[in-house]
Amino acid sequence: MEEKPLIIDPPVGPYSPIGEIKTWLKELEAMNQSDERDFSIQQVKEWIAAHAGE
């Protein structure tokens, strides 16, 4: 039976190089769907957008 990732801890932070953040986003997108995965994806997209604004 498919298990859902509910505990997720990022290996990068919002101030990491944008390439590393994008790699983490790809890892998240490859995970099984769960509310916590979706929450993390949205968070990481905000990190990327903030990077663009800096």
Phi, psi of 6 (to 5 degrees): -115, -25
Nearer to other proteins, 22 or 27 (CB): 27
Rounded to a whole number of angstroms, the minimum distance from the CB of residue 10 to other proteins is 6
Nearer to other proteins, 6 or 19 (CB): 6
With H, G, I as helix, E, B as strand and everything else as coil, classify residue 31: coil
Nearer to other proteins, 11 or 19 (CB): 11
Rounded to a whole number of angstroms, the minimum distance from the CB of residue 29 to other proteins is 13
Those residues whose C-beta lies under 8 Å from the C-beta of residue 34, and which sit 6 or more positions away, are 4, 5, 6
